[in-house]
A and B are shown apart, each in its own frame.
Chain A
Amino acid sequence: MQIIYTDVLVIGGGLAGQRAAISVKRRGHDTIILSLVPAKRSHSAAAQGGMQASLGNCVGAAGDDEDCHFADTVRGSDWGADQQVVRMFAHTAPKAIRELAAWGVPWNRVQRGAHEITVDGHKKTVSEAAAAHGLITARNFGGTGKWRACYVSDGTGHAMLYTLSNQAIAANIPVHERMEALALIHDGQRCCGAIVRNLMSGEILAYVAKATCIATGGFGRIYRVSTNAIINEGMGAAIALETGIACLGNMEAIQFHPTGIVPAGILVTEACRGDGGLLLDSAHRRFMSDYEPDKKELASRDVVARRMEEHIAAGYGVHSRFGAHLWLDIRLLGSSHIEHNLREVKEICRYFLGIDPLQDLIPVRPAQHYSMGGVRTDHRGQSPQLQGLFAAGESACWDIHGFNRLGGNSVAETVVAGMIVGDSMADFCDSADGALHISTTLAEMFASREQQRLAAITACRGGESAFELTRLMQDTMTEKVGIFRHGERLQQAVATLQELQRRACKLSLRSNAPGANPELVAAYRLPRMLKLALCVACGALQRTESRGAHYRADYPRRDDREWLRRTLATWADPQAELPVLTYEALDIMRMELPPGWRGYGAHDYIDHPDTSRRQQEIDTILADMGTADRHLRQAALMPFMHLMPEHLRGRNQRLGEE
């Protein structure tokens, strides 16, 4: 077996992985990226609408800063996020976007003078300042107090990924394409690389590294209806779980995006609504204003998705041969706006629906979109349980999204995490802990274990079909672990998934084609996907409250008293049928923003006794500070700057500031 040595092995070639690799390389360490597909085809490219960073350049963004971005993100998370990490994120996002601007991303820019916008169904004229001309502009997104989503038309992720990939090529960082990590190599305490399968030849090889970074994105494909790329099967999170040591955080926190097109489930961006588009029902009537009088179509995604499903359940959906749906109307935005700022949306409508969104309504219904949960890490991206294992981006839970991510915060997270976690891995390699004392026997042992697993599948005769069981898993997740959850249905889901797991012990192949063999790929991924699905379903069943995207019809209130806790899932015994769930408390007494009403969604929640205590404490601290500036006030409430890499601690300049 071939063994390849490097300092930092990055698993995943999307925005987070590539940005992390660039940091590592700049610090003088060797790195290799593994990618299931050519790196520029990663799912990061599918991000359409924007990247949140509080630049505050355009009129709609006036007065924006890290404080607003922080507060929006924490409210969006329904207080599930780690507030210190959210602070690190909000502070770094403007730096990340300015770096990308220097590297070549053609961000849309502010045009001085008057221009027309669409707000609340009406045209309005606003005027941009001359001083802002040519600076990076932003658009409105859900759950935010300011226009903060910086964008490149509606191909933001594509432009970011191409620029970053090209910089990685310039830095001479090798991307080993069509390579899949099957297992992490570890000795119980220390992770030191991965066993990898070549998806062209089928060959097994080992990569041995001081630090290993999971940056494999989300696991949306455990659901039938998902906006995710078909490669988003969560294998990075699954191999971390299969170490039996590293744990996954908040796996039940699954986001459903309000506007997946029907029936394909392909995403049309939140920018449709951010730019002024409306949601209509079967009578072509706008309904979000009835449910959410303040934020209307631009409440957070969890709230809008839930209201849409409620409206369909109340009988106002459009009935089609593909099931019920609602309409998205962007006709009012006009042809020039759509042809410049929503061109991917126009293409998607044309090719997949045969309609023109300038003339026609777009059929939409919420679809699985994002995994807030993932490999649990500390604020620098390292697994607290398994040294040398790091994670960044959607595959990680470090955790800035809590129970609901705001639109535009995912691509922002990828690059910010890449910057911070990349640096953290370089520090690790430089430290005494980074030294590698592994014997190649360990790598051989893990390789032989994986080879035996594959051989067992190949040798099995007359067993189950992986394609069939995968479909059953996806149906179960979409039907029973979706937007509206209920104890009884969750129990049924767990039972079905366990049954599928038992059946998946006897998978067999109809084809033994040499090479990658797509049927074998489906077969070895299925048991891992089932483990992730069980983490989601069990987490959802145990969590007897509603928080963010996790909504329990039988426990509709957010319960801070019992559930201000992060779910941690481990799978120590490979023979076990279920994950072991434990909980880690979020400490209100250390929060800068204690729990409260989000400004949209339900008003009703069960308070934690610490909330009022902490609020009083905050009020006293701030009263004592008098006229101190916002940075000092923030630092007095919840210091975070000491957690940042030193070169990222500078203050972000804004228009009109020195």
Chain B
Amino acid sequence: MDRIPAHEIHRTLRIQILRHNPYDPGSMPKLQSFELEEADTMTLFIALNEIRQTQDPSLQFDFVCRAGICGSCGMIINGRPALACRTLTRNLPDIIILAPLPAFELIGDLSVNTGKWMRGMSERLETWVHAQHLEQVNIDSMEHAMEPALAEQIYELERCIECGCCVAACGTAQMHEDFVGAVGLNQIARFRLDPRDERTDADYYELVGDESGVFGCMTLLGCEDMCPKDLPLAAQIAFLRRRMAVAGL
């Protein structure tokens, strides 16, 4: 390659956004249409900011890293949950329909409160290393050794960015608001794999051994299909379900 890939012909995009401001008593949910000239390597991050700056300054959305790593900008893009910041408009049709992620509290327009949901999930599933005397760990002496391959396996599951796409894509989560989602079950799988966490399957069973946990999953696989980090969610849930079934006997 000797040049940066770009499109020669620019289209006029029609971007339709599902809008609602819960802080405005007069606001009713509606689909609002914006027209925008496409530019080279335009992402939805660039497009939405341009709409806000030049057409409607009240438009709400969330971006932080704009590099696909922080998980702030999950939204429904033409029917599929995805990260808006790394979605290039050139990969989308002329008409783009954007809506906030379902299953999360709406802050306004495309902005939803994933932070509150994820904190609740973390508190409920206790997504941290449980070990005796963690506060007294001697940090002057050598760290404990860990198998290099195991460290990489843990990182594979740790790559989750809590964007909420898996929850938005999940049939169970739409029906049962207390379902912990693939994001939660993946966390359990991650800590279960980690030898530093002293919890046993019996402990994990207490956390996810019911309908709101691993037995609520209907194996529709929307989570894995929509995960922007390509995490092996279906396999983790299937494996966890087997372990929890054994632990529950």
Per-residue contact bits, chain B 43-63, to A (CB 8 Å; 1 contact, 0 not): 100000000110011111011
By a CB distance below 8 angstroms, the chain B residues around A347 are: 68
- From A187-195, A294-302, A389-397, A511-519, give the one contacting chain B: A511-519
Q: Which stretch, A133-141, A556-564, A628-636, touches the partner chain B?
A: A133-141
Residue of B nearest to A153 (CB): B155
Shortest beta-carbon distance, A326 to chain B, in Å? 12
Q: Do B43 and A26 have beta carbons less than 8 Å apart?
A: no
Is B115 in contact with A177, judged by CB distance below 8 angstroms? yes
Cβ-defined contact, A166 with B128, below 8 A = yes
A448: Cβ under 8 A from any B Cβ: no
**A511-B56 contact in complex given A136-B143, A320-B3, C-beta closer than 8 Å:** yes
Q: Nearest residue in A to B117 (C-beta to C-beta)?
A: A38
Q: Is the beta-carbon distance between B196 and A102 smaller than 8 angstroms?
A: yes
- Closest residue of chain A to B161, judged by CB? A158
Q: CB-CB contacts of B2-43 with A at 8 A, as 1s and 0s? A: 111110000000000000011110000000000000001101
B222 contacts the other chain (CB 8 A): no
Contacting residue for A518 out of B41, B59, B128, CB 8 A: B59
Q: Tell me, yes or no, whether A111 is within 8 Å of chain B by CB.
A: yes
Give the residues in chain A near B196, CB-CB below 8 Å: 102, 104
Q: Is B186 an interface residue (CB 8 A)?
A: no
A565 contacts partner chain B, Cβ-Cβ < 8 Å = no
Interface-lining segment among A39-47, A78-86, A421-429: A39-47
Q: Are A169 and B60 within 8 A (Cβ)?
A: no
What sequence of 0s and 1s flags, for each residue 67-110 of chain B, a beta carbon within 8 Å of any chain A beta carbon?
11111100000000000001010000000000000000001100
Determine whether the beta carbon of B143 is less than 8 Å from that of A511: no
Which A-chain residue is minimally distant from B107 (CB atoms)? Answer: A200
A102 to B128, CA, bound (A): 11
CB distance from B114 to the nearest CB of A (A): 7
- 0/1 string, A260-300, CB within 8 A of B gives 1: 00111011000000000000000000000000000000000
If the complex has contacts A133-B145, A159-B155, A170-B128, are A348 and B68 also in contact, measured as CB distance less than 8 A? Answer: yes
Q: Which residues of B contact A159 (CB under 8 A)?
A: 155, 158
10 CB < 8 A contacts A-B = A41-B70, A45-B70, A46-B70, A108-B155, A135-B145, A153-B152, A262-B4, A353-B41, A363-B4, A518-B58
Given contacts A37-B64, A104-B194, A267-B67, 16 further A-B contacts (CB under 8 A): A26-B135, A40-B115, A45-B70, A152-B155, A155-B69, A158-B158, A159-B155, A169-B123, A178-B107, A262-B4, A263-B40, A318-B2, A353-B5, A515-B22, A518-B59, A652-B140
Binding site for A on B (CB under 8 A): 1-6, 21-24, 40-41, 43, 52-53, 56-60, 62-72, 86, 88, 107-108, 113-116, 118-119, 122-123, 126-129, 131, 134-135, 137, 139-148, 151-152, 154-155, 158-159, 161-162, 191, 194, 196-197
